[in-house]
A = this chain, B = another copy of it.
Amino acid sequence: MRDIRVQTADFDPATELARLEALDVGAVASFTGLVRGDDGVAALTLEHYPGMTEKVLRALGDEAASRWALAGVSLIHRVGRLGRGARIVFVGTASAHRADALESCAFLIDRLKTDAPFWKSEEVGGAPRWVAARDGDQEAADRWR
Task: Spell out A's residues near B (CB within 8 Å).
Answer: 12-14, 17, 21, 24-38, 84-85, 87, 96, 98-99, 101-102, 105-106, 109, 140
Contacts and interface: CB of A to CB of B under 8 A. Distances in A.
A26 B17 contact: no
Contacts of A26: 33-36, 38
Contacts of A24: 34, 36-38, 84-85
Contacts of A31: 27-30, 98, 101-102
Contact of A13 (B14, B96, B106): B14
A106 B93 CA distance: 14
B38 A32 contact: no
A105 B30 CA distance: 10
